[in-house]
Amino acid sequence: MKVFFHYCSFGFSNCYVLGTEAASREAIIIDPGNIDKAILDFIEQKNYKLMGVLITHDHLNHVHGLRTLKRIYDVEIYAVDHLILEHKTNMVKDGDSLNIGSFHIDVISVPGHSSDSAVFKIDHLLFTGDALNAGMLGTTASSYGAEVQMAALRTKIFPLPGNYIVLPGHGPPSTLETERRFNAGIQNFEQHKNKRPSFNMDTWGD
């Protein structure tokens, strides 16, 4: 497989095109923050047939390019939400395994940054959206959201056997082993968690 990385000026997000090297020449797009000539040239010059679009979460800087993409290609969208912008999707959920053309995709729900955040595992690649970035965790609107996100990462992502290349929604790529060992967001989470006050319910009302 070939991975084409595109930095989207709209929202400073990452878009990926994943293409096969077989005679079938199939491709999928992950998080089309914007669609411009560089992405279209990659698809057309490689003679790829676009098979699907994966959305890690519905924040605008990761989906804005859908408007352009759907004008050019009749392509299916796969996401946790049933509607992205004005487009209906093929809804996916935690634990789903999809076959889109020759691509086998495992769906892992990692809510917290948003309620619909998902990680897509394709071969040795993890497309993590904003749930996990190089050295950082996804931002959340509350401490509850941070707890939910951390629980999902600990139970579903970090225990994955072996190593994977992490391809996040923002910033540079990383590896899962690097993030297991050195992610500063995990360390900050633990420090803040340890500083939170605890309450002894037995003393209330005294």
Task: Flag whether 117 is in a domain.
Answer: yes
Residues 142 and 111: beta-carbon distance below 8 Å: no
Domain count, the chain: 1
- pLDDT tens across 15-49, in order? 999 999 878 899 999 999 999 999 999 999 999 99
Task: Flag whether 92 is in a domain.
Answer: yes
Task: Flag whether 28 is in a domain.
Answer: yes
Query: What is this structure's pTM?
Result: 0.90
Please identify which residue in the block is written with the tokens 């071969």.
123
| 9: its two tokens | 């000026």
Task: Flag whether 202 is in a domain.
Answer: no
Task: Flag whether 206 is in a domain.
Answer: no
Task: Flag whether 146 is in a domain.
Answer: yes
Within 8 A by CB and 6+ apart from 201, the residues are none
Helix/strand/coil for 188: helix
Residues 54 and 79: beta-carbon distance below 8 Å: yes
| CATH code of 161's domain | 3.60.15.10
Domain membership of residue 28 as a residue range: 2-196
Task: Flag whether 205 is in a domain.
Answer: no
What one-letter code names the amino acid at 204?
W
Residues 137 and 185: beta-carbon distance below 8 Å: yes
Q: Report the candidate in 47, 22, 30, 1 with the shortest Cα–Cα distance to residue 129.
A: 30
Q: Report the candidate in 173, 206, 51, 56 with the shortest Cα–Cα distance to residue 119.
A: 56
- pLDDT tens across 44-79, in order? 999 999 999 999 999 999 999 999 999 999 999 999
84 pLDDT band, cuts 50/70/90, is: very high
